[in-house]
Amino acid sequence: MTSPEPDPIDAVLRSDHAAITRDLAALRTDASGAGERFTQLSADIVRHFVAEEQYLLPAVRRHLEGGDRISDDEFAEHERIEKILRRLDDDDDQPVDATIGELERALAEHVSRQESSLIPQLVAALDPDTLAELGEGALGAEQLAPTHPRAVVPKSATLSKLTSWIEGLVDKSLD
């Protein structure tokens, strides 16, 4: 019996995007258990970003025209969104609805841009085996990633792998 082919990076990222979008909408419409659900959503977003930083963005840098600029913009976006997550996590005195709205808009922009442009460009530039390797790597990165918003978003895949592994261990022991 042969093992199934790994999901390519585009399938992994689109699946993450769908789950995060669905869970954020559910959090907005049903406040029961909101604290626990927000904690899980926040962890899912951070894990997704770590996977992108370690696998998607290095491939973008290497294979797409303007890849350095695109990657730098994506890293900056991750940092902005994680700051929103930290504000929601840390500050009980803030207007939560407005901040959740800010998070929804930022994530909608992230998903739209990646799914309409970035992911299709990468799929067109890479062969199926490479896309599958990137998908497998992204799934592995998500398993080792931190579960809380990071204070610093490393700007390179190597630094992300090192800091995410350490932060992931710390977060999992605290959780």
Tens of pLDDT, residue by residue over 26-67, are 888 876 777 888 889 999 999 999 999 999 999 999 999 999
* Total residue count of the chain as it appears in this document: 175
In a domain, 2, yes or no: no
User: What's the confidence (pLDDT) of residue 170?
Assistant: 72
Residue 169 belongs to a domain: yes
- The mean-pLDDT minimum among 68-77, 116-125, 152-161 falls in 152-161
Which of 16-20, 23-27, 82-86 ranks highest by mean pLDDT? 16-20
Q: Which residue has the tokens 């997550």?
A: 85
Answer yes or no: is pLDDT of 113 > 90.
yes
d(CA 84, CA 91): 11
Q: What's residue 157's pLDDT?
A: 74
Q: How many domains does the chain have?
A: 1
pLDDT in the model for residue 27: 83
Local confidence band at 172 (pLDDT 50, 70, 90 cut-offs): low
Structural domain includes residue 3 = no
- Please return the burial class of 134, using the count of CB atoms within 10 Å of its CB with bins 0-12, 13-18 and 19+: buried
pLDDT in the model for residue 88: 85
pLDDT band at 130 (very low <50, low <70, confident <90, very high): very high
- How confident is the model at residue 17, as a pLDDT? 98
CA angle 114/120/126 to nearest 5° reads 120
56 exposure class (CB count in 10 Å sphere: 0-12, 13-18, 19+): buried
Residue 40 forms part of a structural domain:
yes
Give the residue with greater pLDDT, 133 vs 150. 133
CA distances from 27 to 24, 40, 96, 159 (A): 5, 11, 12, 32
pLDDT given for residue 146 in this prediction: 87
DSSP 8-state assignment for residue 127:
-
Confidence of residue 76 (pLDDT cuts 50, 70, 90): very high
Distance CA 155, CA 164 (A): 12
Is 22 part of any domain?
A: yes
- Asked if residue 58 is part of any domain, the answer here is yes
Region 6-18: what's the mean pLDDT? 94
Q: What domain range is 129 assigned to?
A: 9-174
Q: Which are the contacts of 75, defined by CB distance < 8 A and separation ≥ 6?
A: 53, 57, 153, 155
**The pair of three-digit structure tokens given for residue 109, joined into one six-digit string:** 């922009």
In the prediction, which pLDDT does 94 show? Answer: 60
Query: pTM for the full model?
Result: 0.88
Is 4 contained in some domain? Answer: no
Give a yes or no: residue 132 inside a domain.
yes
